[in-house]
């Protein structure tokens, strides 16, 4: 074969390969959804979600009927990523009727991305699902949707025997953040689980509810430092500085995360007379870099809020100018002798004539 024939053969081979190389990834993923291999179909569902293209929604909706649980779960997850509103009825159906808990759980999670109030009733019903994973997913999604309709059922979940469920429900109530959430959050502020108390006090404080001031003040006596600081923050929002003393004391806590939260309180609410001096004294010797950084930020925040202006630094001494290499040192100007006033001539003394005969 001569050189020209070889080049022609290579050219034709490359030309035939170009269509395969240029194949649309969406078309390739759709083609893969028809594979007999369930893992290939699952990969196709993942690829379709990753493309973030609206045209991928329908092939994914079709995969919600797949016989394989992993394919269905991946498909509903990808539909959530696409925010595919047209898939909402099928996603709700999956949540309510799919025999596999994993698929129902994934549907509850994906509905958070769809964020459509039409899913609220199905999610509230899912709070009674037999599978804990489905219940947890429904609780979190209702919180992220800030569902007012879900406040009452979430309040019941906040009293669940499972501490993790109580924590998830309290967190969702805090996210919803309406006045109707104050009651269950007050109850949760006295929970035996410290994590639940922290979340409840944080959510209750965000409401800035003057009617909860007594709960906030009780929180200042909590054994947990983070509950104390959340209570202090809540009181600060009501212009009540009764938590300042607790925050100042916690600047010396052994946990640097607690020290950071104490500094945050003092930066936002600390007084000029007590809070700021305590913060300035704690910032200097702070040995943890991130805590030092946050304390310095809190000090800057407090200065701006309190109108504290740093004294200007003393002026720097003027540097002595040195002659450049090779240049003669400039001669000092000759000293001019001080002019003295001319002396007045001494007065002449008259000689008295000597008398004769003496």
Chain segment 72-126, per-residue pLDDT in tens: 999 999 999 999 999 999 999 999 999 999 999 999 999 999 999 999 999 999 9
What pLDDT, on the 0 to 100 scale, is given for residue 310? 81
Q: Is the pLDDT of residue 6 over 60?
A: no
In this predicted structure, the answer to whether residue 297 has a pLDDT above a threshold of 60 is: yes
Domain final residue pick, 72, 92, 116? 116
- Asked whether residue 101 is assigned to any structural domain, the reply reads yes
Range of the domain at 289: 244-308
Domain end: 65, 94, 116, which one? 116
Query: Which of 101, 155, 102 lies closest to 124, judged by CA?
Result: 155
Q: At a CB cut-off of 8 Å and minimum separation 6, what does 156 contact?
A: none
CB 185 within 8 A of CB 216: no
CA-CA distance, 275 to 295, in Å (whole number)?
Answer: 12
Nearest Cα residue to 295 out of 264, 269, 273: 264
User: Is 145 inside any structural domain?
Assistant: no
Domain endpoint, select from 85, 116, 147: 116
Is 303 a member of any domain? yes
As a residue count, the chain comes to 358
- The domain tally of the chain equals 2
Say if residue 355's pLDDT is above 60.
Answer: no
CA nearest neighbour of 201 among 241, 153, 165, 167: 167
Query: Radius of gyration over alpha carbons of the chain, in Å?
Result: 40
Structure tokens at 13: 């081979």
pLDDT of residue 358: 44
27 found inside a domain: yes
Does 314 map to a domain? no
- For residue 124, CA distances in Å to 95, 140, 215 come to 11, 11, 29
Q: What is the pLDDT of residue 319?
A: 73
pLDDT one-digit tens code per residue, 307-320: 998 878 778 777 76
* CATH number of the domain encompassing residue 94: 1.25.10.10
Structure tokens at 210: 């003057």
- pLDDT score at 178: 96
Q: Residue 240 to residues 243, 271, 290, 299: CA-CA distances in angstroms? A: 8, 11, 29, 20
In a domain, 324, yes or no: no
The answer to the question of residue 38 being in a domain is: yes
Three-class DSSP labels, the chain: CCHHHHHHHHHHHHHHHHHHHCCCHHHHHHHHCCCCCHHHHHHHHHHHHHHCCHHHHHHHHHHCCCCCHHHHHHHHHHHHHCCCHHHHHHHHHHHHHCCCHHHHHHHHHHHHHHCCHHHHHHHHHHCCCCCHHHHHHHHHHHHHCCCHHHHHHHHHHCCCCCHHHHHHHHHHHHHHCCHHHHHHHHHHCCCCCHHHHHHHHHHHHHCCCHHHHHHHHHHCCCCCHHHHHHHHHHHHHCCCCCCHHHHHHHCCCCCHHHHHHHHHHHHHHCCCCCHHHHHHHHHCCCCCHHHHHHHHHHHHHHHHHHCCCCCCCCCCCCCCCCCCCCCCCCCCCCCCCCCCCCCCCCCCCCCCCCCCCC
Q: Does any domain span residue 215?
A: no
CA 192 to centroid of chain Cα atoms: 28
CATH number of the structural domain spanning residue 298: 1.25.10
In the predicted model, is pLDDT for residue 143 greater than 80? yes
Q: What is the mean pLDDT of residues 55-73?
A: 97
């Amino acid at each position: 074969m001569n050189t020209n024939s070889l080049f022609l053969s290579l050219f034709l081979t490359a030309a035939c390969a170009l269509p395969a190389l240029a194949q649309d990834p969406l078309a390739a993923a759709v083609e893969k959804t028809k594979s007999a291999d369930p893992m290939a179909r699952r990969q196709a569902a993942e690829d379709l979600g990753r493309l973030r293209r609206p045209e991928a929604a329908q092939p994914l909706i079709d995969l919600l009927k797949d016989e394989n649980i992993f394919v269905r779960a991946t498909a509903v997850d990808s539909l959530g990523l696409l925010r595919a509103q047209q898939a909402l009825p099928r996603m709700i159906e999956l949540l309510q009727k799919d025999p596999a808990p994993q698929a129902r759980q994934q549907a509850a999670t994906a509905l958070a991305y769809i964020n459509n109030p039409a899913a609220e009733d199905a999610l509230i019903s899912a709070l009674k699902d037999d599978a804990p994973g489905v219940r947890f997913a429904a609780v979190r999604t209702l919180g992220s949707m800030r569902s007012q309709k879900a406040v009452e059922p979430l309040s019941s979940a906040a009293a669940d025997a499972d501490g993790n469920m109580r924590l998830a429900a309290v967190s969702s109530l805090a996210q919803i953040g309406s006045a109707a959430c104050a009651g269950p959050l007050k109850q949760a502020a006295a929970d035996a689980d410290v994590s639940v108390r922290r979340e409840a006090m944080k959510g209750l404080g965000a409401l800035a509810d003057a009617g909860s001031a007594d709960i906030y003040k009780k929180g200042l006596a909590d054994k947990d430092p983070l509950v104390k600081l959340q209570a202090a923050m809540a009181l600060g929002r009501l212009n009540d500085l009764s938590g300042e003393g607790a925050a100042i004391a916690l600047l010396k806590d052994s946990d640097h995360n607690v020290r950071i939260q104490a500094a945050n309180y003092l930066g936002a609410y600390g007084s000029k007379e007590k809070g700021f001096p305590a913060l300035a004294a704690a910032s200097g010797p702070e040995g943890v870099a991130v805590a030092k950084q946050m304390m310095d930020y809190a000090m800057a925040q407090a200065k701006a809020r309190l109108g504290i202006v740093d004294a200007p630094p003393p002026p720097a001494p003027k540097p002595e100018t040195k002659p450049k290499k090779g240049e003669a040192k400039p001669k000092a100007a000759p000293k001019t002798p001080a002019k003295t006033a001319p002396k007045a001539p001494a007065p002449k003394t008259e000689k008295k004539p000597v008398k004769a005969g003496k």
